[in-house]
Amino acid sequence: MKRAIVLVDHGSRHAEANAVLDGIAALLRARLPDRLVRVAHMELAPPSVAEAVEACVADGAREIVVHPYFLAPGAHAARDVPAQAEAAAARHPGVSLRVTAPLGVHEGIVDAIVARLEGV
C-alpha cells in the first residue's frame, strides 16, 4: 500500500517563506524514500490541503498522514488543519487519513536551536 505524508504550514505571500516547507519536504523524502511527500499551505499560497491530498490519491496513496508544521497546538494545528484534511479525505472513502500533533516540545527542536546558537 502506498503511503503519503502531507506537510502543512500557514502559507505566505512570500515565495521564500513557502520554499522553507519545500526544503523540509525534500529532506523528508530523502529520509523516507518509500513515502510520497507533498506540501500544502492553509492559506495565501497553493497548494491547498485538498490539492495535496488529491495529488497523493492520484499518485496511488491509500494511507495519508498529515503533519501540521507548526510549533504549538494553536487553532490552526488543533482545529483548522484537521478540518481541512478530513474534508479532503471525505471525497476518498477508501483512503485512510490521520493528522499528527504539531512539532511541540521535542529534543530535536532543542538540537536545532543549539546548532543555530553555535553559529552566532
CA separation, residue 50 to residues 14, 42, 43, 82, 104 (Å):
21, 10, 11, 11, 24
User: Given 10, 41, 67, 76, which residue is catalytic?
Assistant: 10
Annotated catalytic, 10?
yes
The phi, psi pair for 99, rounded to 5°, reads -120, 130
Q: What is the dihedral of CA 48, 9, 17, 56, to 10 degrees?
A: -50
Active site residues: 10
